[in-house]
A = this chain, B = another copy of it.
């Protein structure tokens, strides 16, 4: 009687793409496929007993509260604990925080609050694709800034700001997704100088920063003099605790906080109270630092397994990044290879990765791929690499 076309999808939605990562994830649930695709923590490393105890405490002692409506900003004890943790990097009060359902929601809310259709966001090249998705849904035009192994180039950033008048710049300065690159201290200072001089707001995404294996820790850009007032700093429990509970938080100052809170009301009233209280209990009673140190030691051996294994396999045309932490390694194979085209053959051969092209907002490197080293043991990584070598005809 009625055709399914009764629903007319919005025009602004037409350019929003599904996440290739999510789509690949749904394909590679197969037992016989080794996946380097998702930024998926190794579930066997989750502090399951600690979280079980935290939920048990919450439902025993705070049950009615955990199941009830609550304020949009977040649960007070969680905000206090997150403020204390964030203050290690940058002095932060609980009033400067908003709890989000993962840092993805933080990215999305900032886009909703700041972007009118046609507004420009400057991003790294390559950049996190679900951020591209979120900003595009808000109607933004994304412009890539030239990026080297130390992050965006300050001069290129300066020029892009002058030319495009962006609403904000989106950066992942530490263990970037997808490249694994980090911005050294001196580059951070130079980038901050440009942002301060041009009064350009920054959305700083820092989900991986605590997963450092080696090298010198650098402060977030938000912590450089003058930057706090013009930066929204995003953090997440997903990579250091567990992603299934969907808890992140953002730090900001001034009127934008209130606007973000109103947007979050509209999107979903508040994050799950059960999970907020469980994370608060976990933070109050467990040793997250010890857990992070433990996980980082294991991830380091996995990075080594992947980087060393690739070094012995890759053709001369290839370059790879050497991440000092985080989850991802980025390989550009060169030589006219198309990693997207070869993905079905790879999955047929029991190995999955994410092709590089979706991480570019312009001029994609079709020979690039993102490889996550955190999900699998060194032995499985070795097997996965030998499958990759077969698919790509290496060695």
Do residues A114 and B6 form an inter-chain contact, with CB atoms below 8 A?
no
Do residues A267 and B59 form an inter-chain contact, with CB atoms below 8 A?
no
Do residues B265 and A19 form an inter-chain contact, with CB atoms below 8 A?
yes
Do residues A130 and B266 form an inter-chain contact, with CB atoms below 8 A?
yes
Q: Which of the four size classes fits the interface of chain A? A: 35 or more
Residues of B within 8 A of A41 (CB): 68
With the chains together, A32 CA to B71 CA distance in Å?
A: 19
Q: Which residue of B lies closest to A47 (CB)?
A: B67
Which residues of chain A from 1 to 31 have a CB within 8 Å of any chain B CB? 1-13, 16-19, 22, 25-26
Stretch at the interface among A153-161, A182-190, A212-220, A239-247: A239-247
Q: Which residue of B lies closest to A11 (CB)?
A: B116
Do residues A69 and B38 form an inter-chain contact, with CB atoms below 8 A?
yes
Q: Which residues of A come within 8 Å of B, CB atoms?
A: 1-13, 16-19, 22, 25-26, 38, 40-41, 43-44, 46, 48, 51-52, 55-56, 59-60, 63-72, 100-102, 104-105, 108, 112-117, 119, 130, 133-134, 136-137, 167-168, 196, 199-201, 225-226, 229-230, 238, 242-246, 252-256, 258-259, 261-263, 265-275, 278
15 additional contacts, CB 8 Å, given A4-B253, A105-B267? Answer: A7-B254, A10-B167, A13-B113, A22-B71, A22-B269, A43-B65, A52-B63, A56-B56, A69-B244, A100-B268, A101-B272, A133-B262, A246-B268, A274-B275, A274-B278
List 6 A-B pairs, minimum CB-CB distance, nearest first.
A4-B254, A67-B242, A244-B273, A6-B230, A43-B64, A52-B59
